[in-house]
Amino acid sequence: MKRVRFIINPISGTVSKSGIPEAIDEYLDKSKFSYEILETQYAGQAEEMSREAAKEGIDVVVAIGGDGTVNEVARGITHTSTALGIIPCGSGNGLARHLLIPINIKKSLEIINACEIHDLDYGNINGHDFFCTCGMGFDAFISFKFAEAGKRGPITYVQQVLETGIKYKPQTYELSTDEDTKTYKAFLVTCANASQWGNNAYIAPQASMSDGLMDVVIMEPFDLIEAPQIAIDIFSKTLDKSSRIKTFRTRHLHVHRSEEGPIHFDGEPTLAGTDIDVSVVPKGIKVVVNPDGDKSQRKPNMFQTAACEMFNDISTIHDDIIHHTQRGLKLTKILQKKITKNLPGI
């Protein structure tokens, strides 16, 4: 019989977790597992609890919370025989969504019951482990503002983006790999072990957690009129097709940037200097995965299909607006010239 430790972060995300212990008792297969439930009381305690679980030889530690909770639990069990499980209850749930873990307690417990465990990669930025994404630039700046706001949820996140996005100034980044060094002026630089930030916002649609590499995504500065298309590309898994995006894969990256400032690891912000090191650790953590994940990846569900169709429609409308706006400006200029010619006194 396998031993499972559930670690609940009661303040993560925007949803109450009061009914989770009852759901665990009802839906966990107790013929396969014995279990215990612990609740965190302060930041960092989830890592301590998972580290203790690994020392005790517990088979699976399940993080119940958002990406920050998942990150803490995962940090405590890297390079051990203890596997990470996830019951996603956060505001973004980036790693859970990449792994196709359902955002539903009963269904996510069914994944735990199946207990299919894979050895997956994780990353490290300046000594901080990450399992989904890390980065610098605008997304790190927003993560910093998001943390300062003291509120969670997509509304707060969008508010921060709208309030600060226009004012944000891109930086110059010198990116060095084992092969070469290139310099970019960029809005952001993201290193992705998994495909998305969270909320199905795909910053690196082709990223894999089992290839021993991270996807480096450079988003070049763009005009305000291009922003809606970039947003559409992020949510429709087509960002890698954008002309404003440069991508490559590597095991190690050294970044020298023009100014010090925030970086983030799985959405958790911290301040860093002008030199940053990022690397991938192949097969460094065991994770309970969705056994039907490959099938789900090949065949999008009805919601994903409808969402993509909606985004394509929005993209078409956006292109039409730009086309007609540009055409209208040309006609206005022609009309102004005619008026000026016929009425020279104006």
Distance (Å, rounded) from C-alpha 218 to C-alpha 139?
12
- Rounded Cα distance between 133 and 203, Å, is 9
Give me the chain's average pLDDT, please.
Answer: 85
Return the structure tokens found at 229: 């298309």
CA 2 to chain centre: 31
What pLDDT, on a 0 to 100 scale, did the predictor assign at position 315? 46
**Model pTM score:** 0.80
Write the DSSP string, 183-245: EEEESEEEEESSSEEETTEESSTT--SSSS-EEEEEE----GGGHHHHHHHHHTT-GGG-TTE
Largest alpha-carbon pair distance within the chain? 93
User: CA separation (Å) from 242 to 115, 130, 267, 330?
Assistant: 38, 26, 24, 27
Q: What phi and psi values does residue 237 have, to the nearest 5 degrees?
A: 60, 30
**DSSP conformational letter for 26:** H
What's the confidence (pLDDT) of residue 92?
87
Instruction: State both tokens at 106.
Output: 């009963």
With DSSP H G I counted as helix, E B as strand and the rest as coil, what are the percentages for the chain, rounded to 5?
Answer: 35, 30, 30
What is the pLDDT tens value at each position of the chain, 346 positions in all?
Answer: 999 999 999 987 667 788 999 999 999 999 999 999 999 999 999 999 999 999 999 999 999 999 999 999 999 999 999 999 999 998 889 999 999 999 999 999 999 999 999 999 999 999 999 999 999 998 888 777 666 555 555 544 455 454 555 567 899 999 999 999 999 999 999 999 999 998 899 999 999 999 999 999 999 998 878 888 988 999 999 999 999 999 999 999 999 999 999 999 998 999 999 999 999 999 999 999 999 875 444 444 444 444 444 444 444 444 444 454 455 555 555 555 544 555 444 4
Per-residue confidence (pLDDT) for residue 330, from 0 to 100: 58
CA–CA dist 132, 92 (Å, integer)? 11
pLDDT at position 114:
97
Q: How would DSSP label each residue in 278-343? A: EEEEEEEEEEEE-TTHHHHHHS--HHHHHHHHHHHHHHHHHHHHHHHHHHHHHHHHHHHHHHHHH-
Contact 139, 150 (CB under 8 A): no
- In angstroms, the CA 187 to CA 139 distance is 9
pLDDT in tens, 100-118: 999 999 999 999 999 999 9
Backbone dihedral angles phi then psi of residue 112, each to the nearest 5 degrees: -60, -40
- Of 142, 147, 170, 134, give the one whose Cα is nearest residue 158: 142
| b/e sequence 178-208, b meaning 16+ C-beta within 10 Å | eeeeeebebbbbbbbbbbbbbebbbbbbebb
